[in-house]
Homo-oligomer: A and B are copies of this chain.
Amino acid sequence: MKAAVLHAPYDVRFEERPEPKIEQPTDAILRLSATCVCGSDLWPYRGANVINSPTTMGHEYCGVVEEVGTGVTSVKPGQFVIGGFAFSDNTCPNCLSGFQSGCLHGGFFNTAQAPMLRIPQADGTLVPTSGKPSRGMIPSMLTLSDVMGTGWFAAEAANVKPGNTVVVVGDGAVGLLGALAAKIMRAERIIAMSRHETRQELARNFGATDIVTERGEEGVARIKELTGGLGADCVLECVGTPESMKQALGSARRGGYVSYVGVPHGVSLDAQQLFFTHVHLHGGPAPVRRFLPKLINLVEEGEIDPGKVFDLTLPLDQVAEGYRAMDERRAIKTLLQP
């Protein structure tokens, strides 16, 4: 089979890789219905991480079970399934406390931009849908593997409750879906920070009530203005840069909640500054597995349509263009069809 491989910054190739096989009795093999490029893939793509040797890419997927190992009991060939970007046994203490992305026997996928994918710990990782989803539903199902689950985690970790005022920092797919999650959690006011027109539109479509185009200190000042000088109850930091974190912390009210779900790059926090804000800080790689049953249900019931974040669909062999479009912000998120 052919799969995406990053050779150097800005150099993604579609090249021959061995087809995955069952290696452990707890494995499953999926034939992917769709995969995609993640905002976090842009860090190595742009050279933020060192690439020592050609590396396969991708951690978002949904598809049909092709084969299962002898120890797999919860899914079977032919079923349509989704799993998170991390695999997990879903039975260890970390999983049981809801942090499956920190599973003691888990890890992260990095071979999902491919037609076939091996799932370790299949029983703890995969969740089947009620039936085979319609073609139109597949993009939304795909988002549950990462961006929708991560947006949901951002909202949960920021303690969004009915009636709250919520600020979303970051207008990437995760930020946009964080706004959608906040809407489902019945936030009263959802302020999206974005200066990009099509993203603003999608944010509004997902439930944002206000758009703030200012950034940095001006952005914080505008949030304060919109919240009676107090700041927001909940702030979702969905970028991972020093600037976005500063903006997020500055936008929270005293004792408010700030979540952060994008891998922080070069972000250092001054504990004394944090201390005098009384802010609650919580984040990390989203434990998507925790939310899958609920989110699958919301998609199946037509309550959410997160697949709208895909504004570019390409055949998998054009994966390099998928990266380019996102890097140049021509696309919010690229769906790839194997």
Interface residue ranges, A against B (CB under 8 Å): 93-94, 97-99, 101-102, 228, 230, 245, 253-255, 260, 263-265, 267-272, 274-285, 287
Contact = CB atoms under 8 A, between A and B. Distances in A.
What 5 A-B pairs have minimum CB-CB distances, sorted nearest first?
A264-B271, A267-B271, A278-B284, A99-B255, A102-B254
Contacts of A260: 271, 275
Given A268-B271, A277-B284, A280-B282, 16 more contacts: A93-B253, A94-B255, A97-B255, A102-B254, A102-B276, A245-B271, A264-B272, A264-B274, A264-B275, A268-B269, A269-B271, A269-B274, A276-B284, A278-B283, A278-B285, A278-B287
Given A93-B253, A255-B98, A270-B268, A280 B278 contact: no
Contacts of A265: 272
The prevalent SS among residues of A at the interface is: mixed
A283 B272 CA distance: 10
Contacts of A230: 93-94
Nearest to A255: B99
Contacts of A278: 99, 101-102, 282-285, 287
Contacts of A101: 278
Protomer copies: 2
A265 B260 CA distance: 24
Contacts of A283: 274-275, 278
Given A267-B271, A271-B268, A281 B284 contact: no
A92 to B, nearest CB: 9
A99 B254 contact: yes
Contact of A253 (B97, B264, B268, B272): B97
A280 B260 CA distance: 11
13 contacts: A93-B230, A97-B255, A99-B255, A245-B271, A260-B271, A264-B271, A267-B271, A268-B269, A269-B269, A275-B284, A278-B284, A280-B280, A281-B281
Contacts of A277: 284
A274 B255 CA distance: 19
A34 B108 CA distance: 58
Nearest to A286: B278
